[in-house]
Structure 1
Amino acid sequence: MLDSVHFDLDRISPVPLYYQLARQLEAVIDQGALVPGDLLGNEIDLSVRLGLSRPTVRQAIQLLVDKGLLVRRRGVGTQVVHRQVKRPLELSSLYDDLEAAGQGPTTEVLRHEAVPAGAGVAAALGVTEGAEVTVLERLRRTHGRPVASLCNYLPAGLLQLDRTRLESSGLYRLMRSAGITLHSARQTIGARSATAEEAARLDERPGAALLTMTRTAYDDTGRAVEFGTHIYRASRYAFDFQLLVRP
């Protein structure tokens, strides 16, 4: 709980106190010392404890509310919603990563149908343009709040899928259970602003920062088994990777 957390605020630093407090609160949430559902406590009590003005504490809390880490609930107080998901850059399913991080993932299937492959999808999957492929559109939530919008294309007949299976498991887990061995992927990560439609879907403001990922995954025979285009809320999601110096 917050009573046991120590805050180290530098009162002579040019960095504003509200920002220092917000960063340290964010670190506490990210490290798991505060978990979803924990209450932050009364602003007045926190300001007295830290020797800060109430507006300073309120500004720090508002910064984390805006980032989606905290939420103010009438009659309850300020509550931790989640910690930011940091996903390793490896060939893994978002569902599995969220589940491993204790984020309680849920999936809403928005679209599941056979469509003719456009030029880009055909090139990625190595099929003829206009050939039938399966398209999946899903909205992934953690603790009831949207974190990512996923669009995936699969070669026709690759998997027997239904809404129940798609809502209860990750796509790569379903592939593995069908005997498909994932081997490698080509992936591109970027960033852009949310359109009005994307913002509404992800519970963000139009123009909010989004992370983007485009990936083509291959099985152990070299066959392309999935082409995905995903968008993530930058306030709730980050890619985490390690860089090595080439000898």
Structure 2
Amino acid sequence: MDTAGELKHVWVRKQIQDLVAASLRPGDALLGERQLEEQFGVSRITVRRAISDLVQDGALVRIKGKGTFVSHGLVRSTLHLASFNEDMRAAGFEPSTRVITALTAVPPAAAAEHLGLAAGQEAYQVRRLRLANGAPVSVDDSWLPPHLLPGLLSGDLTGSLYGVLAAFGHPVQHVEQTVQAAAALEETAALLDIAPGAPVLLFRRRSFTGPNDPGPPIEYSISTYRSDRYQVSMRLGLG
């Protein structure tokens, strides 16, 4: 190991962190690699390694064709049953929500099947942009059965949807969820302020009202998360 190179890389990373803390805000562009190279008197390789570490840590974010920017923060979440608002507050962020769509429509086949709806039967569609400290984190598409939630769309949907479901007498007790890597679709990318095709995390979730409810879920949702602002962690043990 090149000990001097290792120490220099750590030193440059600290200098960049100090620079960000002193003069930059979330969303601001970082100086170019050549400028940093000259300012710190180190090689381009050392600068790139320091920046890569800060990107990995969630302090910086690279946008292809534009440069490197100060991150709005990386939300680290453990796998557990919680609403978006609870998740964000637990991570130290202030959550907010913007409703994009709230209407009645015929759901896609997958949503209709999960909700136990007949072909052509309508459902509530609620599409929301979720933010942490004002920065977009995810787009949530939820489909819900109208016959169990009359008047849902006329209520306030900017808070916890789980809270709304509980108020209707359908508290969520457990969920089934899958997570996969995906490429952002154009419309979703625009809402998340990322390039179309950028890497995202796709969560598919079925929410049930009983701990061992065998019936159809109260909600079927697909949530698209920015992979540079959201990270899932888990603790595993040998049983």
Change (3 A) 1:199 1:116: closer
Question: What secondary structure does 2:237 align onto?
Answer: coil
Structure 2: stretches of 5+ with no match in the other structure:
62-68
Q: Are the equivalent residues in 1 in contact too, given 2:77–2:91 (CA < 8 A)?
A: no
- Equivalent pair of 1:115/1:135 in contact (CA under 8 Å): yes
> Are 1:173 and 2:163 an aligned pair?
yes
Q: Do structure 1's residue 17 and structure 2's residue 17 form an aligned pair?
A: no
Q: Using the alignment, how far apart are the partners of 2:230 and 2:52 within structure 1?
A: 19
Alpha carbons of 1:201 and 1:68: their partners in 2 closer, same or farther (altered >3 Å)? farther
Check conservation: 2:103, 2:153, Cα contact below 8 A. Answer: no
Give me the TM-score of the superposition, normalised by structure 2. 0.72
Following the alignment from structure 1 to structure 2, what is the Cα–Cα distance between the partners of residues 87 and 196? 26
Give the root-mean-square deviation of aligned CA atoms. Answer: 4.1
Is 1:239 paired with 2:239?
no
CA distance in 1, matches of 2:234, 2:152: 32
CA contact (8 A) 1:136 1:153 kept: yes
Match of 2:113 in 1: 123
Q: Which runs of 4+ in 1 moved over 6 A?
A: 65-68
Q: Is the Cα contact below 8 Å between 1:210 and 1:231 reproduced in 2?
A: yes
Question: Are the counterparts in 2 of residues 67 and 235 from structure 1 also a CA contact under 8 Å?
Answer: no
Residue in structure 2 matching 1:98, options 88, 93, 98: 88
Report the AA paired with residue 157 of structure 2: L
* Distance change (3 Å), C-alpha of 1:181 and 1:80: same
Instruction: Name which of 156, 169, 185 aligns with 2:146.
Output: 156
> % of aligned pairs identical?
31
Q: Is this contact kept in 2: 1:18–1:59, CA < 8 A?
A: no
Q: State TM-score, norm by structure 1.
A: 0.70
Offset of residue 207 of structure 1: 2.4
Task: Identify the match of residue 230 of structure 1 among 219, 223, 233.
Answer: 223
CA contact (8 A) 2:127 2:141 kept: yes
Aligned to 2:66: none
> How many residues get paired?
216
Q: Offset of 1:94 from its aligned partner?
A: 1.4
Go from structure 1 to structure 2 and tell me whether the alpha carbon gap of 1:158 and 1:98 turns closer, same or farther (over 3 Å shift).
Answer: farther
Deviations 1:60-92, CA, capped at 9 Å, x for gaps: 458757997459xxxxxxx96543111221222
Deviations 1:25-65 (A, max 9, x none): 5xxx9xxx99x969xxx98xxx8xxx764975698458757
**109-118 or 52-61: which moved more?**
52-61
